[in-house]
Amino acid sequence: MSSPAGGNSSARPIAIIGGTGPAGSGLGLRWARAGESIIIGSRDAKRAEEAASKTRQKAGVNANVSGMENADACAAADILVLTVPFESQAGILKQLKASITEGSILIDATVPLAASVGGRPSRPLGVWQGSAAQQAAELVPKGVSVVAAFHNVSAELLNGDDPLDCDVIVCSDDPDAAQLTRELAAKISGVRPVDGGKLENARIVEQITALLIGMNIRHKGHAGIRITGLPPNAYR
């Protein structure tokens, strides 16, 4: 991640669980373009391979993107990004528990929206643990660090070619995992990472997505957020 040249760090692949959805495929595309080695995970290996092929076409000839069934993707990487609908999150984590290697980092981008239970996408659901990310932290094996990030980035814009106009707020109780995630965020053109503090703060960051979705519905936009007023060292 932190190679001095800022180049290809394919020695450490990134597995995107639920990587065939809009958010996962958009993150995969952006990171593939930045030279990262990407494994797109799906419940269905064939779908994963098709998505990987599409991402390779969009990202360019040198892109390092493969597709695997979710459990194989977990076993092949120690940086995992979870981009699934909230209603699938707990089930998938339970199912993948045995495949997640100790020492892995799980970057959770899950947003608990009422749409998961037939309600509005502009309303958050209350999660007993406080947030979807904290629910994830309860479900991963021991020795796996959970980071909450990438909730507020428009999936549609991620799948495009333009630089984004959005900051990524990163919350975690593991400072090293948070820093690695901030470095990954900074690899997306136009994105600045912001230290959001402890994992418990994910409950606020997740809810911001519901607010942005409401704005998108009312104004037909692709809303994102920028954090202003912090010194430069807060954005790395």
Interacting residues with a copy of itself (CB under 8 A):
122-124, 154, 157, 165-166, 169, 194-197, 200-201, 203-205, 207-208, 210-212, 214-216, 218-231, 233-234
Closer of 30 and 203 to a copy of itself (Cβ):
203
- Tell me the pairing of strands 145-148 and 166-172: antiparallel
Q: How far is the CB of 229 from a copy of itself (least distance, A)?
A: 4
The distance from CA 3 to its chain's CA centroid, rounded to whole angstroms, is: 21
Residue 71 vs residues 97, 127, 138, 189, 196: alpha-carbon distances, Å? 9, 26, 19, 30, 30
How far is Cα 142 from Cα 92, in angstroms, rounded to an integer?
17
Contact 203/171 with Cβ under 8 angstroms?
no
Closer of 33 and 222 to a copy of itself (Cβ):
222
Q: How far is the CB of 98 from a copy of itself (least distance, A)?
A: 35
Closer of 78 and 108 to a copy of itself (Cβ):
108
Q: Two tokens at 200?
A: 């418990």
Closer of 117 and 230 to a copy of itself (Cβ):
230
Length of the chain: 236
Q: How far is the CB of 59 from a copy of itself (least distance, A)?
A: 23
How far is Cα 96 from Cα 114, in angstroms, rounded to an integer?
25
How far is Cα 40 from Cα 51, in angstroms, rounded to an integer?
7
Closer of 44 and 165 to a copy of itself (Cβ):
165
How far is Cα 132 from Cα 126, in angstroms, rounded to an integer?
9
Closer of 141 and 214 to a copy of itself (Cβ):
214
By C-alpha distance, which of 225, 201, 197, 203 is closest to 213?
225
